Amino acid sequence: MLHDTHSFSLKKLATCCAAAFAIALTLPVPALASASSQSGTAYASLSADGSTLTFYRSSSSASGGTGGSSSAGKAASPSAATYSGFEETTSNTASPFASADKVTSIVFEDSISPACTADWFKGFSNLKSVEGLSNLNTSKVTDFSSMFEGCTSLSSIDISSLDMSKAADTSDMFAGDSSLSTITMGKTFTAKNAKSSANMFPVVSADSSHTGRWCLSDGSNGLTADSLDASYAGSSMSGTWIREQFVPVYRLYNKWTGDHFFTESLNEDKSLEKVGWKDEGMTWKSAAISTYPVYRLYNPYSGDHHFTTSLSEYSSLAGIGWIQEGQAFYSIGSRQDVDWTEPVYRLYNRWLKVGSHLFTTNEDEQGYLQGIGWNFEGVAFYAFQ
């Protein structure tokens, strides 16, 4: 009897489950939200005073309507103009934000995924800052041409987060940006597949303190804008690029001791001139920054000065009584290019107790001193021409 009751209960349970499943099949299944309705619509809002252009992504209601910015808790601000449709555009012949050319600041508040950024901020001559570029997803973009062309007030930009993996055209991206002195690029910022990168980086002019080239922030890899355009190949170019600067190195001579002295300090140069040293003018141009310092030592017994790039020599001379005076200036290491670098030669006169070493870029002077008995010790380091 017990067995029959148990069997009946199982049959009843199975019947109930089957009925419930049949009813469930007749109920409507709610539709899943599409990816596009979840992402909302990209738009840009120009502040009421026209100084800030901010990029947002709207939220979407269940009925498909557009709500406010997806940035949580951010209240809408009064705007002078609102722009939309730029995310879907695959080509531009002019900036889609043309009436925003008085903008001084651009902010990417929310994630934006355009198909094309060509000409976006072209001619924004008052632009001074770009914030939130990590929210600009450029993984689909093939055309970056003239994106920041003519932004003549922009002094620095960090584009290390931009994905350039599909870039076909990066020409004129920063062309004409005459104030731009710092560009930070990252490993994800790669234009190695670009078919055109002409004039991607702004040309920098040589002047009283600049060489007319770009270099990394540690002073390495000095390149002209054209060379940077041609060499640009992704991770090898990552880092912060700055306008390469030089510092004049002055040479003085003490006729009483025979010592030659070298300094990049104009104040020190003039001070020594006042106490009788002869100012022989600028002798070469040192790097404003590099990873190759030139150290200075002073011998308190003879009054002699010595300069070296060798830490070993710097330490060994200190061990026999010379005073270490720290870094005198920078060299550019072993960078050799006949167009813009020159060797600094080192000579030694064993008969002199003071001024026994001389440094010169002048080959005629080097040859003359060798002819009268000085020992040629080779290239000490390199300087800018």
**120 near 101, Cβ under 8 Å?**
no
- Amino acid (1-letter code) at residue 203: V
pLDDT at 23: 42
Run of H or E residues at 323 = strand 323-330
One-character DSSP codes across 86-103: TTT----SS-TTGGGTT-
Task: Find where tokens 């060299």 sit.
Answer: 331
pLDDT tens track for 65-80: 344 555 543 444 566 7
**51 near 102, Cβ under 8 Å?**
yes
Rounded CA separation 33/182 (Å): 44
From residue 120, give the alpha-carbon distance in Å to each of 28, 114, 371.
46, 11, 65
The proportion of the chain whose per-residue pLDDT surpasses 90, expressed as a percent, equals 58
Q: How confident is the model at residue 40 (pLDDT cuts 50, 70, 90)?
A: confident
Q: How confident is the model at residue 32 (pLDDT cuts 50, 70, 90)?
A: very low
pLDDT tens track for 225-249: 888 777 665 456 788 999 999 999 9
- Residues whose CB is less than 8 angstroms from the CB of residue 120 and which lie 6 or more positions away in sequence, other chains included: 86, 92, 95, 96, 97, 147, 148
pLDDT at 205: 86
Span of 58-72, 129-143, 246-260 with lowest mean pLDDT: 58-72
**Is residue 177's pLDDT more than 50?**
yes
pLDDT tens track for 348-370: 999 998 999 999 999 999 999 99
pLDDT at 222: 84
pLDDT tens track for 54-109: 999 987 433 333 445 555 434 445 667 899 999 998 888 889 987 777 899 999 99
One-character DSSP codes across 129-169: EEE-GGGB--TT--B-TTTTTT-TT--EEE-TT---TT-SB
**Is residue 190's pLDDT more than 70?**
no
Handedness of CA 267, 272, 273, 277 (dihedral sign): negative
Task: Find where tokens 């540690």 sit.
Answer: 218
pLDDT at 99: 72
Rounded CA separation 145/279 (Å): 51
Task: Kindly report the number of other CB atoms within 10 A of residue 317's CB atom.
Answer: 19
Task: Kindly report the number of other CB atoms within 10 A of residue 362's CB atom.
Answer: 13
- Residues whose CB is less than 8 angstroms from the CB of residue 321 and which lie 6 or more positions away in sequence, other chains included: 299, 300, 301
Q: What is the DSSP letter of 112?
A: B
Mean pLDDT of 2-26: 44
List the end-to-end C-alpha distance of the chain, in Å, as a whole number: 111
Please name which of 189, 135, 132 lies closest in space to residue 166, comparing C-alpha atoms.
189
Q: Which class for 6: exposed (0-12), middle (13-18), buried (19 or more C-beta within 10 A)?
A: exposed
Full-model pTM: 0.77
Question: What's the chain's average pLDDT?
Answer: 83
Rounded CA separation 174/95 (Å): 14
Angle formed at CA 80 by CA 79 and CA 84, multiple of 5 degrees = 80
Rounded CA separation 369/364 (Å): 9
Task: Find where tokens 């997803």 sit.
Answer: 137
